[in-house]
Amino acid sequence: VVNKPEAKDHRVTVDVRGANACVESVVWPMPILEAAFEQLRGSSQYFSLDFFKGFWQLAMALLCQEIYSILTEEGVITPTRVLMGGANS
């Protein structure tokens, strides 16, 4: 638990390096910007989509939930949403 900048409450942080070592990384190709713009050429309408606080919205695969479980003084917390810093997140 660390203090949030300029706040009176706390933020829970988890070191997920051990869990990340158990997860097979997925290699994502970087998009080619020129190719993306070429696909948009001639379009008259556009929209953008952004996952604001997306880490708290995206469901975590059932197979990964146990790997990322957190042991606390209160008991075990098993996340059901993607954690910030998790492999492939």
| pLDDT tens digits along 2-11 | 666 777 776 7
Full-model pTM: 0.56
Instruction: Give φ, ψ of 24 to 5 degrees.
Output: -75, 120
C-alpha to C-alpha distance for 11 and 28, rounded to whole angstroms: 30
User: Can you give the C-alpha Rg of the chain in angstroms?
Assistant: 18
- Contact present, 89 and 82 (Cβ < 8 Å): yes
pLDDT tens-place string over residues 28-58:
777 888 998 899 999 999 888 777 766 667 8
Q: Is the pLDDT of residue 1 over 60?
A: no
